[in-house]
Chain A
């Protein structure tokens, strides 16, 4: 067992993947000597060299576009987008090329490209450094979209993402980078498949569905609710596309109440997809409408106001109360 922070768990996961497969490359801005602005790639260039850990020119579209070319040549690039808000210059390559090229080739082409994106707010950053852009990518067919929430999942999911023959958009909750856990790096028996979610806290009265940074918030809310005599189940989706529908529906059929929580704006956010699917598949089990807690329909605010924008324990429990009020 090894105690690792979430960022170090990603680092160790990538290191393992690079040791296992010489075709795995790391590329991005400042990923080399600096080790990335969050130090997620710290030490990898020193150990694997500049050919495998590539400091790229400052151009996100270029990073993804050339990663596609490297993948066409048999490499497995793991691209770092420095901050969520900087993925948009690369959106063209991701949406029009990366997501669609395999299908256009009738399966002849595989693009095992991982796009790592530190996401979410809560670190007091300036604009474009606190975004939650997952819905843009779940809306794009051809991309697997996953989000880790804790060090153990970070360690396993990054390796699974790198092994996947599909492009994977890999969200990392930046405000959780420094959280630590004891991880069994020797055994793989405990790994959950990349496309499966997890019940991270069992409960009977209502289901909280979250991913990435909001999983911890929901766990805290569930703990607080316990004091009020309410048993909340918490699901960590882990994978947004594909969605582990059986896991979610099973929980909803048991509890009858659901609150979906994400940092991204509620409006056209990933919660909308969940709400629709739950309503379609569990309509007669629902005791209340599916409720959503998330960011407002506004740009991410200046950091002095981010505590208002970001869902917290109180806002989650407020939604739980509303659910029970129906």
Chain B
């Protein structure tokens, strides 16, 4: 059959190769402010002046969200969660972009944005409800300006654009950010959201965490060009940032949000990162990717580089790192305790909140099922 086995070498300009370090070599267009070795580098368009306490605070965020994630994986392994989608490796992309948001900005996550949730002050235990099967959401999106997790791939990007159009009509000084992954960029909804955002000049930032894998499918199953370049076809700027560099993610997202608030319309940010874990706890990545790829990306760890930077520049001492570690342990233990203490929902909760207004069929079924359950109790 006349299907070219390998696509023509636009591949050379980015990372499509068959070698084991696939994606690990930094592509040339990448905005990076902190190297994997913890060296501060300058970028002509994006710079950031972070005070030592701000860097320490970012470090703390990174460590704590990794600990939350680790605990959730463990809880799933022990049967306390039905499933978990790990953010391992994507901490910098989430903390950098999450900390770029102002309180008034609105975020629309996928189901993996536990780090962004942290930045929006969502109690970590509330993230577990969906995965433990006790609820479908767990927090009030209005309270945190952080929408519910969306499981259907890419749907939330359109909601985000609609929300941004509302912000625009209200003449409010805030921006909206939509999170999604590399796989989602193939979805019709995501492409439609780009079009909507573009023609309405919506105050939105599209934040794509390109973690290289959509379950088992590598990036080249979704695209022939770097994802950030998709934006130009839709008529707005696209930028690729080192997704494992929290400084760069913060700087680039902050600028894009500012542009959105100032009426300059949408930006697509491609945070170039790597899914260090499985797609979810039910996935087995050893079936489809090689270990050496993981090893190459380990050298680009988002936390280690901040730690190196803090050490080298004497911005933090061992006592600081110890205290963050202790806090992380405490947070993990606390999360575990509160997860186990989470009450199961009551059977009749099934009938709650289906409609905003009274509904006779729901009322009838609730009453019928209550009577049915009572029948068991009387036996």
Min distance, Cβ B136 to any Cβ of chain A, angstroms: 5
Chain B hits for A315, CB < 8 A = 372
Chain A hits for B151, CB < 8 A = 85, 126-129
Q: Is the CB of B134 within 8 A of A34?
A: no
Min distance, Cβ B113 to any Cβ of chain A, angstroms: 15
Min distance, Cβ B281 to any Cβ of chain A, angstroms: 11
Q: Is the CB of B354 within 8 A of A298?
A: yes
Min distance, Cβ B364 to any Cβ of chain A, angstroms: 9
Min distance, Cβ B231 to any Cβ of chain A, angstroms: 18
Q: Is the CB of A305 within 8 A of B349?
A: yes
Tell me, yes or no, whether A153 is within 8 Å of chain B by CB.
no
Q: Is the CB of B1 within 8 A of A37?
A: no
Q: How far is the CA of A305 from the CA of B376 in the complex (A)?
A: 17
Tell me, yes or no, whether A32 is within 8 Å of chain B by CB.
yes
Instruction: List A145-198 residues whose CB lies under 8 Å from chain B.
Output: none
Q: Is the CB of A58 within 8 A of B345?
A: no
Q: Is the CB of A33 within 8 A of B136?
A: no
The answer, among B1, B134, B184, B287, for a CB contact under 8 Å with A304, is B134
Chain B hits for A128, CB < 8 A = 151-152
Q: Is the CB of A55 within 8 A of B131?
A: no
Chain B hits for A227, CB < 8 A = none
Given known A298-B351, A318-B372, contact A85–B288 (CB-CB < 8 A): no
Tell me, yes or no, whether A29 is within 8 Å of chain B by CB.
yes
Instruction: List B343-378 residues whose CB lies under 8 Å from chain A.
Output: 344-345, 347, 349-351, 354, 361-362, 365, 369, 372, 376
Q: Is the CB of A58 within 8 A of B350?
A: no
Q: How far is the CA of A143 from the CA of B278 in the complex (A)?
A: 37
Q: For chain B, which range describes its interface: under 10, 10 to 19, 20 to 34, or 35 or more residues?
A: 35 or more
CB nearest to A266 among chain B residues? B365
Q: How far is the CA of A301 from the CA of B132 in the complex (A)?
A: 12
Chain B hits for A127, CB < 8 A = 130, 136, 151
Min distance, Cβ A86 to any Cβ of chain B, angstroms: 6
Q: How far is the CA of A128 from the CA of B148 in the complex (A)?
A: 14
Chain A hits for B351, CB < 8 A = 296, 298
**Contact mask for chain B residues 212-228; partner A; CB cutoff 8 A; 1 contact, 0 none:** 00111100011000000
Chain A hits for B215, CB < 8 A = 29-30, 34, 37
Q: Is the CB of A37 within 8 A of B282?
A: yes
How many residues of chain A get a CB closer than 8 Å to chain B's CBs? 42
Chain B hits for A57, CB < 8 A = 183, 186, 217, 221-222
Chain A hits for B111, CB < 8 A = 126
Tell me, yes or no, whether B17 is within 8 Å of chain A by CB.
no
The answer, among B134, B189, B349, for a CB contact under 8 Å with A89, is B189
Chain A hits for B376, CB < 8 A = 314
Tell me, yes or no, whether B52 is within 8 Å of chain A by CB.
no
Instruction: List A100-136 residues whose CB lies under 8 Å from chain B.
Output: 124-129
Tell me, yes or no, whether A61 is within 8 Å of chain B by CB.
yes
Q: How far is the CA of A304 from the CA of B81 in the complex (A)?
A: 11
Tell me, yes or no, whether B188 is within 8 Å of chain A by CB.
yes
**Contact mask for chain A residues 281-325; partner B; CB cutoff 8 A; 1 contact, 0 none:** 000000000000000111101111110110000110010000000
Tell me, yes or no, whether A35 is within 8 Å of chain B by CB.
yes
Q: How far is the CA of A297 from the CA of B347 in the complex (A)?
A: 14
Q: Is the CB of B83 within 8 A of A58?
A: no
Given known A29-B217, A89-B187, contact A305–B350 (CB-CB < 8 A): yes
Min distance, Cβ A322 to any Cβ of chain B, angstroms: 11
Tell me, yes or no, whether B3 is within 8 Å of chain A by CB.
yes
Chain B hits for A51, CB < 8 A = 1, 3
Tell me, yes or no, whether A267 is within 8 Å of chain B by CB.
yes
Q: Is the CB of A301 within 8 A of B350?
A: yes
Q: How far is the CA of A129 from the CA of B151 in the complex (A)?
A: 10
Minimum-distance CB pairs A-B, first 10 = A303-B133, A34-B216, A57-B186, A58-B183, A59-B186, A33-B288, A304-B133, A124-B82, A30-B216, A308-B347
Supply 18 A–B pairs (Cβ within 8 Å), ascending by A.
Answer: A30-B216, A34-B215, A34-B288, A50-B5, A55-B221, A57-B221, A62-B186, A125-B82, A126-B131, A296-B369, A301-B345, A301-B349, A301-B350, A302-B129, A302-B130, A302-B133, A304-B345, A309-B350
Please list the residues of chain B having a beta carbon within 8 angstroms of any beta carbon in chain A: 1, 3, 5, 82-83, 111, 129-136, 151-153, 183-184, 186-189, 214-217, 221-222, 282-283, 287-288, 344-345, 347, 349-351, 354, 361-362, 365, 369, 372, 376
In the complex, besides A62-B186, A62-B188, A124-B82, 14 extra interface pairs with C-beta distance below 8 angstroms are A29-B214, A50-B5, A51-B3, A55-B221, A56-B221, A59-B186, A125-B83, A126-B130, A296-B365, A297-B365, A298-B354, A301-B349, A302-B135, A305-B350
